[in-house]
């Protein structure tokens, strides 16, 4: 049984490690643009007979990706930024008829992934989009809470990211592309446009070492997917912040530069694409931060009814960005290979993943994060 992993950056490495340590595969193929990422990492994986092979590939080439997927049981897409590579890989999975799991966190692409639902069903495969940390773990936590209710009235998701743990260059591109402008939230059952890092500020208490922080509406997929999955909810939002909060301002400032740039920008006598310049600058600023804890956190709050009584349910957890994004995608792929995902089509994780099994893998087997929670009548 073979699995294909696309992308071997910070998040891809975590997915690869998990596919190797916990998977059921005789072979894992790593498809990447930059072979040095995988070649330097693969020798650290020891102790199992699983074969790991490398393939250099242009991930935007759907036909080439489909050929690489051939004969694989499942594929995992950790190649970023998602706004560039999400759709070509999904098209390849449909062409190759190979199940796919990805870590998409782009709200614009999320709408387009729903459009592939019928094609994925016709191909007889599941495509699970947005199975990272947030979105991903938080979506499954929403399902875990919703399963305890007869009807869901409100869904609130939130996350905090450490500026000192900013991921790689592709993640910086995503932050500037998706989080620097529009945000969407559902109020009164209607999708409304907000401003990222500006509107909806509220202070939430996250577990240590995060504590009390102010979060804001953000441009993320959760309001889109969760409002479709739980149509009875009249309020669905996703709020976030970086620590320190100055990173929010950096994203807004550099994102505006990218949106308003007309062609390349001139840097030190050379012309550079505006996104490349801004993403490099953001990454450097984040990596220069000192005395900032590296932990990230997420929170899920639901309000609804059970046998006529109002209930509130809260879950919160703390972990690290890389493992909390790459490992959930690996778990989803392993569950597909084990025959635990039965639905076909393109869908978010809360639709097709049974919460108990998934959270057992995240919390108990991997000890990926500590989970706090309570139910209030």
Whether residues 272 and 173 fall in one domain: yes
CA pair distance 133, 318, nearest whole angstrom: 11
SS3 354: coil
Do the beta carbons of residue 140 and residue 359 sit within 8 Å? yes
- Report the DSSP pairing between strands 2-6 and 27-32: parallel
How high is the pLDDT of residue 207? 93
Residue 161 belongs to some domain of the structure: yes
Residues 128, 141 within the same domain:
no
Mean pLDDT of the chain: 95
Is 251 within the bounds of a domain? Answer: yes
Q: pLDDT tens digits, residue range 114-143?
A: 999 999 999 999 999 999 999 999 999 999
Q: pLDDT tens digits, residue range 194-215?
A: 999 999 999 999 999 999 999 9
pLDDT one-digit tens code per residue, 8-67: 999 999 999 999 999 999 999 999 988 888 888 999 999 999 999 999 999 999 999 999
11 shares its domain with 126 = yes
Answer yes or no: do 10 and 105 share one domain: yes
Which CATH number do you get for residue 53?
A: 3.40.50.720
Could you list the residue range(s) of the whole structural domain that residue 206 is in? 137-319
pLDDT at 166 over 90: no
Whether 179 is covered by a domain: the verdict is: yes
Q: Are residues 309 and 336 in the same domain?
A: no
Domain count, the chain: 2
Same domain, 232 and 160: yes
Q: Kindly report, residue by residue over 77-115, the tens digit of the pLDDT.
A: 999 999 999 999 999 999 999 999 999 999 999 999 999
Query: For residue 106, is it within any domain?
Result: yes
Looking at the DSSP bridge assignments, the partners of residue 314 are 301, 374
Q: Are residues 191 and 49 in the same domain?
A: no
Look at residue 377 and tell me if it is in a domain: no
Residue with tokens 């990926």: 368
Domain at 169, CATH number: 3.30.360.10
Query: Which of 280, 298, 319 is the endpoint of a domain?
Result: 319
3 state DSSP class of 346: strand
Give the tokens for residue 185.
């939230």
Q: Are residues 314 and 337 in the same domain?
A: no
186 and 253 part of one domain: yes
3-state secondary structure of 369: coil
Residues in the chain: 377
Whether 17 and 92 share a structural domain:
yes
Indicate if 334 and 361 belong to the same structural domain: yes
Average pLDDT over residues 221-245: 98
Instruction: Give CA–CA dist 188/14, Å, rounded.
Output: 39
What's this model's pTM, rounded to 2 decimal places? 0.96
Q: Angle 246-260/169-178 helices, nearest 10 degrees?
A: 80
If asked whether residues 159 and 79 sit together in one domain, one would say: no
38: Cβ contacts below 8 Å, ≥ 6 apart = 8, 16, 30, 32, 54
In whole angstroms, how far apart are CA 114 and each of 69, 74, 119, 224? 22, 20, 10, 10
> Given 302, 319, 336, which residue is the final one in a domain?
319
How far apart CA 81 and CA 89 sit, in angstroms, is 12
First-residue to last-residue Cα distance in the chain:
47
Asked, as a colleague might, if the bond just before 209 is cis with ω within 30 of 0, I would say: yes
Res. 263 pLDDT band, cuts 50 70 90: confident
Residue 375 within a domain: no
């Amino acid at each position: 049984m073979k699995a294909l992993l696309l992308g071997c950056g910070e998040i891809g490495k975590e997915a690869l490690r998990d596919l190797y340590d916990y998977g059921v595969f005789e072979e894992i193929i790593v498809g990447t643009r930059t072979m040095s990422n995988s070649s330097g990492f693969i020798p650290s994986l020891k102790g199992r007979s699983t074969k790991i092979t490398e393939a250099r590939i242009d991930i935007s080439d759907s036909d080439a990706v489909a050929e690489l997927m051939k004969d694989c049981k499942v594929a995992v897409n950790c190649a970023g930024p998602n706004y560039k590579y999400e759709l070509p890989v999904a098209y390849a999975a449909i062409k190759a008829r190979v199940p796919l799991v990805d870590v998409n966190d782009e709200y614009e692409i999320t709408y387009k992934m729903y459009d592939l639902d019928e094609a994925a069903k016709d191909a007889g495969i599941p495509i699970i989009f947005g199975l990272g940390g947030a979105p991903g773990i938080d979506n499954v936590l929403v399902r875990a809470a919703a399963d305890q209710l007869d009807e869901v009235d409100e869904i609130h998701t939130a996350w905090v990211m450490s500026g000192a743990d900013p991921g790689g260059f592709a993640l910086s591109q995503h932050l500037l592309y998706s989080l620097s402008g529009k945000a969407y939230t559902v109020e009164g059952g209607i999708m409304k446009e907000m401003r990222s890092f500006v509107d909806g500020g509220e202070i939430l208490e996250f577990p240590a070492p995060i504590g009390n922080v102010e979060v804001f509406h953000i441009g993320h997929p959760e309001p889109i997917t969760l409002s479709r999955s739980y149509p009875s909810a009249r309020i669905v939002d996703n709020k976030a912040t970086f620590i320190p909060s100055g990173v929010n301002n950096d994203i807004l400032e550099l994102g505006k530069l990218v949106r308003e740039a007309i062609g390349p920008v001139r840097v030190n006598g050379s012309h550079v694409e505006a996104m490349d310049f801004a993403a490099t600058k953001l990454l450097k600023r984040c990596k220069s931060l000192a005395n900032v804890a590296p932990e990230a956190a997420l929170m899920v709050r639901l309000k609804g009814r059970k046998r006529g009584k109002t209930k509130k349910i809260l879950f919160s957890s703390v972990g690290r960005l890389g493992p909390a994004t790459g490992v959930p995608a690996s778990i989803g792929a392993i569950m597909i290979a084990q025959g635990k995902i039965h639905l076909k089509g393109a869908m978010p994780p809360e639709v097709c993943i049974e919460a108990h099994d998934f959270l057992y893998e995240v919390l108990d087997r991997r000890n990926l994060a500590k989970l706090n929670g309570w139910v209030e009548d």
